[in-house]
Structure 1
Amino acid sequence: MRILQISDVYFPRVDAVSTSIRSFLREFEAKGHGVTLIVPDYGARADVPAEDVIRVASRSVPFDPVGRMMKPARVLELTERLRGAEYDVVHVQTPFVAHYVGRALARRLGVPLVETYPTFLEERLHHYVPFLPEDWVRFLARDFSRAQCNGVDCVVVPSTAMAGVLKRYGVDTPLRVIPTGIEPHLYDGGDGGRIRAQSGFTPDQPVLAYVGRLAHEKNLDFLLHVLRTAREKLPDLGLLLAGEGPAERHLRELAQTLGLAACVSFVGRPDDLQDRRDCYRAGDCFVFASRTETQGFPLLEAMACGIPVVALSAMGTADILKGRRGSLAPRDDVSDFAAEVVALLKDPERRRRLGAEGRAFVQEWSASAMAERMLELYADACSASLAFTRAAAR
Structure 2
Amino acid sequence: MNGVVRTLQKMQAELEKTGHAVKLISPDLYGSIPCPTYPEIRLALVRPGAVGAEIAGFRPDAVHLATEGPLCLAARRWCLRSGLPFTTAYHTHFPDYVARRTGLPASWFWRYIRWFHGPASAVLVSTRSVRQQLRAHGIAQVRAWGRGVDLAAFTPQAVPPAFFADLPRPIQLYVGRVAIEKNLEAFLSSRRPGSKVVVGDGPARAALERAYPHAHFPGAMFGEALAGAYAGADVFVFPSRTDTFGLVMIEALACGTPVAAYPVTGPVDIVTPETGALAGNLDEAIAAALLCDRAACAAYGRTFTWESSARDFLSGLHAIGRERMDSAA
Q: How high is the TM-score relative to the length of structure 1?
A: 0.75
Pairing of 1:113-262 with structure 2 (within 5 A): 113-130=86-103, 134-135=104-105, 138-172=106-140, 174-188=141-155, 189-196=157-164, 202=166, 205-226=169-190, 229-231=191-193, 237-255=194-212, 261-262=213-214
Pairing of 1:1-394 with structure 2 (within 5 A): 14-41=1-28, 55-73=29-47, 76-107=49-80, 111-130=84-103, 134-135=104-105, 138-172=106-140, 174-188=141-155, 189-196=157-164, 202=166, 205-226=169-190, 229-231=191-193, 237-255=194-212, 261-262=213-214, 264-270=215-221, 272-321=222-271, 323-329=272-278, 331-340=279-288, 344=290, 350=291, 354-378=293-317, 381-382=318-319
User: More relative contact order in 1 or in 2 (CA 8 Å, sep 6+)?
Assistant: 2
Asked whether the equivalents of residues 49 and 78 of structure 2 are also in contact (C-alpha less than 8 Å), the reply is no
CA distance in 1, matches of 2:74, 2:163: 41
Give the root-mean-square deviation of aligned CA atoms: 2.5
Residue segments in structure 1 that go unaligned for 5+ positions in a row: 1-13, 42-54, 232-236, 256-260, 345-349, 390-394
Shift of residue 37 of structure 1? Answer: 0.6
Match for 2:253: what amino acid? Answer: M
- How many percent of aligned residue pairs carry the same amino acid? 24
CA distance in 2, matches of 1:85, 1:224: 48
Deviations 1:267-299 (A, max 9, x none): 1122x3233213323422211122222012111
Match for 1:294: what amino acid? Answer: T
Asked whether the equivalents of residues 87 and 111 of structure 1 are also in contact (C-alpha less than 8 Å), the reply is no
Secondary structure (helix, strand or coil) at the match of 1:210 reads: strand
Deviations 1:180-216 (A, max 9, x none): 22232221343313353xxxx6166431110011122
Identify if the C-alpha distance between structure 1 residues 163 and 67 changes in structure 2 by more than 3 Å, giving closer, same or farther: same
Secondary structure (helix, strand or coil) at the match of 2:153 reads: helix
Provide the aligned length of Structure 1 versus Structure 2.
322
Asked whether the equivalents of residues 160 and 225 of structure 2 are also in contact (C-alpha less than 8 Å), the reply is no
Runs of 4+ in 1 over 6 A off after TM superposition: none
Identify if the C-alpha distance between structure 1 residues 57 and 116 changes in structure 2 by more than 3 Å, giving closer, same or farther: same
Shift of residue 84 of structure 1? Answer: 4.0
CA distance in 1, matches of 2:225, 2:57: 42
Q: How high is the TM-score relative to the length of structure 2?
A: 0.89
Deviations 1:68-106 (A, max 9, x none): 111225x64342344343101111111011322332453
Identify if the C-alpha distance between structure 1 residues 324 and 340 changes in structure 2 by more than 3 Å, giving closer, same or farther: closer
CA distance in 2, matches of 1:109, 1:359: 48
CA distance in 1, matches of 2:163, 2:210: 23
Secondary structure (helix, strand or coil) at the match of 1:324 reads: coil
Asked whether the equivalents of residues 168 and 195 of structure 2 are also in contact (C-alpha less than 8 Å), the reply is no
Task: Quote the residue 2:327 is aligned against.
Answer: none
Match for 2:180: what amino acid? Answer: H
